[in-house]
Amino acid sequence: MKNCEYQQIDPKALATPSPAPTPSRPCLEKKPKRLKRKWEVFPGKNRFYCDGRIIVARQSGVLPLTLGLILVTSGLFFIFDCPFLVQHLTSCIPVIGGVLFVFVVISLLQTSFTDPGILPRATPEEAADIEKQIDNPINSSSSYRPPPRTKEVVINEQVVKLKYCFTCKIFRPPRTSHCSLCDNCVERFDHHCPWVGNCVGKRNYRFFYMFIVSLSFHTAFIFGCVTTHLALRSQGGNGLVFALQQSPASALELVVCFFSVWSILGLSGFHTYLVAANLTTNEDIKGSWSGKSGNEESGNPFSYNNIFKNCCSVLCGPMPPSLIDRRGFVPTEDEVRAIPAEMELPSIKTDINMEGDCLDFALSFAS
């Protein structure tokens, strides 16, 4: 029998299996913070829909009324008047009414849901830099100091004053005004229209003008067709009372169109005058270029002195981009700290050239 030798084994020499890593609990992991978009922290009094794609004023309660009046009046016309007029006159009436109706609704929605030309507010650093420039003007002599909170620029050989906005902390560019209802500075501010639920400015004025012009044609067209409808029904000795009994909806349309067509036609004519003169409602009311506000110069520096050129400048020019970047992301604290402190602050540059039939206003950001 063979001798078996036994060798003692050191237990420390044995390879101990490494402990398996404990699975991390999902609840203990830090969830990344959701990046906010700029429309979520927008300082103005506006409402945003569709992730910031649609912007309206906060006080937009009259807009549903405007849209409702248009839809109800047009619906009654297409349901009760068009069949009779097609049978007795021509089939072109509903086609013309439908085209006008589409123009009215599309232009209304574009006016209401478009950024009118809101200017971004200054950051605290930019506001502090502007305050330094106001307190210590660079190009000021000992004999003359400009009035506080104002700047002067020359446009078409005419001096135009730029006023300082205490809310937005910026010097307002020419033709810019601060809307108290929306709490924003709007470029080429015309007026705040409660019927469309938005300000009317540089970026949506052409839509507003198309809206009131198409609405005036649409209202006058319905008024004429309803009157013709009732006149045809009252023929043969039946009388107007019989016609109203046969089509009571036409009476409602007639009342609504009668009381609205005159104001809409007057508004369209007024804005046609403004477009031809390259004026805004705000400038016309204040008399900015007519001597009512105390200005010695009475000429409009933004006018081309030509009706056709003024109309093309206001209605047919390229659509300026939106400056508030409402769908952009708010920078995080790390990104803000990474910005060098020596970086120059934004400066507003006015570049208006009236030669060669060109009028431009540009905001350049020096960095």
Positions annotated as catalytic residues are 193
Distance separating alpha carbons of residues 70 and 104, to the nearest angstrom: 9
Distance separating alpha carbons of residues 100 and 213, to the nearest angstrom: 10
Exposure of 87 in the CB half-sphere (CA atoms within 13 A)? 8
Q: At 56, which amino acid appears?
A: V
Which of the 8 DSSP states describes residue 317? S
Rg of the Cα trace of the chain?
Answer: 33
Residue 10 to residues 168, 217, 240, 261, Cα–Cα distance (Å): 80, 104, 119, 106
C-beta of residue 166 within 8 angstroms of C-beta of residue 96 = no
Strands (E) across the chain are located at 46-49, 54-57, 150-155, 158-165, 170-171, 177-179, 184-186, 191-193, 198-200
